[in-house]
Structure 1
Amino acid sequence: MTTDTPWLIAGLGNPGPWFRLTRHNAGFLTVDRLAERHGARFRRRGIGVQVSEIEVDGRRVLLAKPQWFINLSGRPVAALLRRHGVPAAQLVVVQDDLDFAFGAGRLKRGGGPGGHNGVRSVGEVLGTRDFVRLRFGIGRPPKGQSVGDFVLKRFSDEEQAALPGVLDRCADALETLVRLGLNRAQDALNVRTDARLPSGRESPVS
């Protein structure tokens, strides 16, 4: 039997097949991996969002992919919270993050958007930053490339080869969050792993 109040895990990204493996769609890729683990499929709900539903240790978890462009993510996320009676404290937003190297990530509650327009949109529409964020590291653009071009480019071949392992670690952390709470999930995500960055440096998931 599931508990009454679900979690909502919203991955941020841009809709459409062209954007699928771009860095800005790390949020979509993470919730896709979580749905895949549980044999769930995404279905369109109205015009603004795709939703899937899974169960983690008896807890109902909604997975969402807003289908507006990433800087307009707040309205469909807020609509889902209202529709399902989910408090902001049980919202998780999965975003790409330039401040962490590829292969690294961090879970935290609250804080500013750090230049991420999708996170800013969610906070502004909800009127609160009291939600959890999973910050999926994508690294910084190489010299001479703009941030806008970088985030809308596909992951490199080396990154794509490592991507399944990174997505699995993020999915593990999200399941731990639902089961055991934020502190335990942060500990799990921060554990040093044997994964390697494309440069050959050991990757701390921190």
Structure 2
Amino acid sequence: MKIIAGLGNPGKEYEHTRHNMGFDVIDELARRWHVTLWKEDMKAEIGQTLVNGEKVLLVKPLTYMNNSGEAVGAIARYYKVDLDDIYIICDDLDLPPGKTRIRKKGASGGHNGIKSLIAHLGSENFNRFRIGVGHPQDGHTVVEHVLSRPYGEDIQKIEDAKIHTADSIESALKDGVDHAMNVFNPKRKG
């Protein structure tokens, strides 16, 4: 079984903001896989499907970003899912808008949702599918930046990154995370 959890904040006012990249990718995967039945349980919205013959839970924590680990940790413990089988989708300030990166482990990098996951999963060793939203411009604070919707040329870059991330998750489910990293992570020059 796999858990694919998109991080974000519940509520209309947060829809399609930079901080809700995870929810948006979950919605894209649900559309692709025809997941229409959702239940609210363990502080999350959960949709279930089969992908390549394996049960997959699509998860949108309802705990707000900073407490995402409460929901994901409870679901992982209840279903006895290994850390290797947990895929987290989140925004990343340190990546330029629209850039994506897959990592199999690592520190939080200051991301409060990831900090919460590390605390509730008891490890840094879980897969992350990160979507760049860039650093704030025009004198905005980090909070203002992540809680606002992309604008200008960032809109298309970020929309493309959501599709790219959904593609990379499908690749990881089919051929493994290492394969997805080789195919979908940006290649370093020189």
TM-score w.r.t. structure 1 length? 0.85
Aligned residues: 188
CA–CA distance in 1 between the matches of 2:99 and 2:44? 27
Question: Gaps (5+ residues) in structure 1?
Answer: 1-5, 193-203
Which whole-Å CA distance do the structure 2 matches of 1:41 and 1:17 have between them?
19
Shift in alpha-carbon separation, 1:85–1:166, aligned structure 2, 3 A: same
**Secondary structure of the equivalent of 2:87?**
strand
Q: Distance in 2 between matches of 1:115 and 1:164?
A: 24
Instruction: Say which is worse superposed, 105-114 or 160-169, in terms of deviation.
Output: 160-169
Which residue type is aligned with residue 96 of structure 1? D
Is 1:151 equivalent to 2:146 in the alignment?
Answer: yes
Deviations 1:147-187 (A, max 9, x none): 11100011115433444432211111001111111111012
Q: Which residue of the partner structure matches residue 8 of structure 2?
A: 13
Give the residue type in structure 1 aligned to 2:54. R
Q: Is the 8 A contact 2:48 2:56 kept in 1?
A: yes
SS in 1 for 2:184: helix
SS of alignment partner, residue 170 of structure 1: helix
2:181 aligned residue:
186
Q: Deviations over 1:116-160 (max 9, x none)?
A: 000000101111111001111111110411111100011115433
Any runs of at least 4 consecutive aligned residues in structure 1 with deviations exceeding 6 A, and if so which?
none
Query: Bigger shift: 20-29 or 56-65?
Result: 56-65
Identity fraction in percent: 35
Could you tell me which residue of structure 1 aligns to residue 64 of structure 2? 69
Q: In 2 relative to 1, CA 163–136 (structure 1 residues): closer, same or farther, beyond 3 Å? A: closer
Tell me if structure 1 keeps the 8 A contact 2:61–2:68.
Answer: yes
CA distance in 2, matches of 1:162, 1:139: 11
Distance, in Å, in 1 between the alignment partners of 2:139 and 2:99 is 24
Q: Distance in 2 between matches of 1:87 and 1:184?
A: 19
Whole-Å Cα distance in 2 between the matches of residues 94 and 185 of structure 1? 14
User: Is residue 50–residue 65 contact of structure 1 (8 Å, CA) maintained in 2?
Assistant: yes
- Any idea what SS the aligned residue of 1:28 has? helix
Question: Is contact 1:42-1:50 (8 Å) kept?
Answer: no
Name which of 151, 165, 168 aligns with 1:170. 165
Query: What is aligned with 1:113?
Result: 108
Matched, 1:55 2:53: no
Q: CA deviation at 1:84?
A: 1.6
Aligned to 1:195: none
Relative distance call for 1:188 and 1:22 in structure 2 (3 A) is same
> Conserved in 2, the CA contact under 8 Å of 1:173 and 1:185?
yes
Deviation at 1:60, TM superposition (A): 1.6
CA offsets 1:25-77 (integer angstroms, 9 cap, x no match)? 01111111111111112523236100112222112211100001110111110
Question: Normalized against structure 2, the TM-score is what?
Answer: 0.92
User: Distance between the aligned counterparts of 2:51 and 2:6, measured in 1?
Assistant: 18
1:189 Cα deviation (Å)?
1.3
What CA distance in whole angstroms lies between the structure 2 residues aligned with 1:141 and 1:191? 23
Secondary structure at 1:175 match in 2: helix
C-alpha displacement of 1:19: 0.2
